[in-house]
Amino acid sequence: MSEKKIVITGHTSGIGKAIYDKFNEISCREIVGMSRRNGYDIEMDFDKIVEEATGAEFFINNAYRDEQQLKLFHALKDKVDMMVVMGSVSRHYPELIPTDYVHDKQALAEACRLESINPNGIPILHLDLSFIEGTTVSENDPTAFISDYNTSLEDIVDTIIFWAQKPSIRQVEFRWKLTDHVRKELERINPNLDPSRIQF
């Protein structure tokens, strides 16, 4: 019988790396990282990821690319014991951040919500993350920006560890602070924005 394992997508940078490193430090389970760099592209290698993650005790659905994160959610929600899904608090503000990213994160959150009312569903934690410490953004993406108020990687990792012992929790949201810097960036990426929409 194979030993239970913990699988993390997008484990080579950012929050994925922080989780991967912490679990390697504290868990006696096998920790499996799946990223493009080691041959697990969530689009190109989708079937391989599903096959190898099946049976995992813990699947951390972290890597984002378009709809692939949602597809992985559906493909694995009946094939692993527990799942953590990295969402974004930006999904609450589609008018402020009218991007495909926000749309995808909305769809992901709704899928998690529906699963939470499935009587046969596995424990799933949907994390609505704020801007994360150490985030890097693509220079080619005109809608990307870095906030000057961040959630620490440690707080997010601590939350996952807390949830692993309290799987009755289904959703945790982190503060998304509207600083002057963020306000200016929102106006930059969304020139049609009515400024009154950012008076929270």
Residues that bind another protein (CB under 8 A): 92, 113, 116-121, 123, 128, 130, 151-152, 155, 158-159, 162, 166-178, 200
Least separation in angstroms between residue 59's CB and another protein is: 17
Least separation in angstroms between residue 99's CB and another protein is: 19
The residue among 139 and 180 lying less far from another protein, judged by its C-beta, is 180
Least separation in angstroms between residue 200's CB and another protein is: 5
Least separation in angstroms between residue 39's CB and another protein is: 35
User: What is the enclosing helix (H) or strand (E) of 29?
Assistant: none
Whole-number Å distance between alpha carbons of 181 and 200:
15
The residue among 31 and 124 lying less far from another protein, judged by its C-beta, is 124
DSSP label of 82: E
For 10, 37, 69, 128, 199, the CA distances from 163, given in Å and listed in that order, are 20, 29, 21, 14, 33
The residue among 65 and 92 lying less far from another protein, judged by its C-beta, is 92
Give which of 136, 12, 19, 28 is closest to 84, Cα–Cα.
19
DSSP label of 151: B
The residue among 9 and 151 lying less far from another protein, judged by its C-beta, is 151
The residue among 122 and 144 lying less far from another protein, judged by its C-beta, is 122
If 0-12 CB within 10 Å is exposed, 13-18 middle and 19+ buried, where does residue 138 land?
Answer: exposed
HSE-up (13 A, CA, CB side) for residue 176: 20
Task: Classify 161 as helix, strand or coil.
Answer: helix
The residue among 2 and 120 lying less far from another protein, judged by its C-beta, is 120
Least separation in angstroms between residue 116's CB and another protein is: 5
Residues in Cβ contact with 139 at an 8 Å cutoff, skipping those fewer than 6 apart: none
Least separation in angstroms between residue 64's CB and another protein is: 21
